Amino acid sequence: MTTPSTTLASHYTGEERSKRIFAIVGASSGNLVEWFDFYVYAFCAIYFAPAFFPSDNPTVQLVNTAGVFAAGFLMRPIGGWIFGRVADKHGRKNSMLISILMMCFGSLLIACLPTYKDIGAWAPIMLLFARLLQGLSVGGEYGTTATYMSEVALKGQRGFFASFQYVTLIGGQLLAVSLVVILQQFLTEDDLRAYGWRIPFVVGAVAALISLFLRRSLKETTSKEMRENKDAGSIRALFRDHKAAFITVLGYTAGGSLIFYTFTTYMQKYLVNTAGMHAKTASYIMTGALFLYMCMQPLFGMLADKIGRRNSMLWFGALGTLFTVPILLSLKSVSSPFLAFVLITVALAIVSFYTSISGLVKAEMFPPEVRALGVGLAYAVANAIFGGSAEYVALSLKSVGMENSFYWYVTVMMAVAFLFSLRLPKQAKYLHHDL
């Protein structure tokens, strides 16, 4: 028996299908490198924090490095605006090439930075500058890549193919934490603090150059007519004609970003700093959990193709609201690494209802002339305020003895995500018909 999905997907010729799959692979490979470079900072922070922020209190050091991490997110709205405009007016491909080049420079700069001992206060200032560059790059990367992958995904299977944006995004995290695990096997903790933390940033810079060449072969998805549209990349047109869509995307992305960063980048520090686990044990747990999380994305993307993207988003908001506090409270006192792994995996399964289709759901809200701008800017603003600040808020509340308040903060934002998901149309207005 044929389903609507197979019927829609089957009208593609073998050559056309191959071309679209290659485009997905090409775009997502660059996405993987971008996010590897960005997340290396989070996973190496435990080791380089003392080099840039001298203090007797490890929590204070982590708060400072988390502050710089959050500052990188503050550049995302600017990146979302600049690169979204470039993508809509000059093509998705050009935007993706520029963003990966900028990420390469930021990673190389961090790899070569002198420490506080060498140049004093200039060290954290330069670290901040490098992170701002990376934040600018990633701010543009998400919107453009989400738009591009949504536009080349096969009709009827868009949830499945678009899910590979987060396969590679999570893959970037996974490779980052895996590289840290490998370094932990060959270097002592003193070596990691002295120089070992620089190695992943060098690897990231080299990988970005490789990705630059891969992305040069991508085919542009916009036409000359689209790019020359007077509203192409116009922030005025975006807010004049698509304000409601922008607010909706902003609303559910806020909760999605917050819970995503809570159970990915912050979780390693949470296991060490709150649950009292050894850094190596925490890295092992996160490596396994992130691997399963990555594998979940196509499965949840396929599920969304069956039950509808709106329903997936509603399940995400509802389950996140109900289970965030119980999971985080259980992790707080967990003693078994295996149980910690199970709890984190359950949390990431809930998040997968959102991450597997988030880029596609956003892209379907905007017409092609402002699609990259709308997706990128809404995502970047929500990430700057809620996602990038997750670690900083969590660690700050912990430092004043109010750690449990963070759990309820995440829960409230998940309830907000559920309410905004109710605003999603049952049938996509855009993207469904324009390709």
Domain locations in the chain as residue ranges: 21-222+241-421
Contact (Cβ atoms closer than 8 angstroms) between residue 79 and residue 380: yes
In the CATH scheme, what architecture does the domain 21-222+241-421 have? Up-down Bundle (1.20)
pLDDT at 197 over 50: yes
pLDDT at 116 over 60: yes
What's the pLDDT score for residue 337? Answer: 94
Q: What is the pLDDT averaged over residues 10-28?
A: 72
Query: What tens digit of pLDDT does each residue of 358-373 get?
Result: 989 998 899 989 999 9
Query: What tens digit of pLDDT does each residue of 44-102 get?
Result: 877 888 888 776 667 666 777 777 767 777 787 898 899 999 999 889 889 989 988 89
What's the pLDDT score for residue 431? Answer: 55
What's the pLDDT score for residue 435? Answer: 43
pLDDT band (50, 70, 90) for residue 353: very high
What's the pLDDT score for residue 225? Answer: 84
Cβ within 8 Å of residue 427, ≥6 positions away: none
Q: What is the pLDDT averaged over residues 242-261?
A: 94
Q: Tell me which of 8 and 167 has the higher pLDDT.
A: 167
Q: What is the pLDDT averaged over residues 198-213?
A: 89
The span from the CA of 187 to the CA of 309, in Å, is: 45
Q: What is the pLDDT averaged over residues 149-173?
A: 83
Give the least confident one: 74-78, 134-138, 151-155, 193-197. Answer: 151-155
pLDDT band (50, 70, 90) for residue 1: very low
Query: What tens digit of pLDDT does each residue of 26-36 get?
Result: 777 777 887 78
* Residue in the structure block whose two tokens are 């700057």: 384
Q: How far is CA 409 from CA 171, 295, 313, 386, 392, in A?
A: 28, 28, 19, 10, 13
Query: What tens digit of pLDDT does each residue of 295-340 get?
Result: 999 999 999 999 999 999 999 999 999 999 999 999 998 889 999 9
The span from the CA of 108 to the CA of 5, in Å, is: 44
pLDDT band (50, 70, 90) for residue 9: very low
The span from the CA of 220 to the CA of 114, in Å, is: 41
Tell whether the torsion through CA atoms of 85, 90, 94 and 98 is positive or negative: negative
Give, to the nearest 10 degrees, the angle between helix 403-421 and helix 390-399: 150
- Using H for helix, E for strand and C for coil, what is the string for the chain? CCCHHHHHHCCCCHHHHHHHHHHHHHHHHHHHHHHHHHHHHHHHHHHHHHHHCCCCCHHHHHHHHHHHHHHHHHCHHHHHHHHHHHHHHHCHHHHHHHHHHHHHHHHHHHHHCCCHHHHCCHHHHHHHHHHHHHHHHHHHHHHHHHHHHHHHCCCCCHHHHHCHHHHHHHHHHHHHHHHHHHHHHHCCHHHHHHCHHHHHHHHHHHHHHHHHHHHCCCCCCCCHHHHCCCCCCCHHHHHHHCHHHHHHHHHHHHHHHHHHHHHCHHHHHHHHHCCCCCHHHHHHHHHHHHHHHHHHHHHHHHHHHHHCHHHHHHHHHHHHHHHHHHHHHHHHCCCCHHHHHHHHHHHHHHHHHHHCCHHHHHHCCCCHHHHHHHHHHHHHHHHHHHHCCHHHHHHHHHHCCCHHHHHHHHHHHHHHHHHHHCCCCCCCCCCCCCC
CA 14 to chain centre: 32
pTM: 0.82
Contact (Cβ atoms closer than 8 angstroms) between residue 65 and residue 128: no
Instruction: Fill in the amino acid letter for 163.
Output: S
Query: What tens digit of pLDDT does each residue of 396-428 get?
Result: 998 888 989 999 999 999 999 999 999 988 766
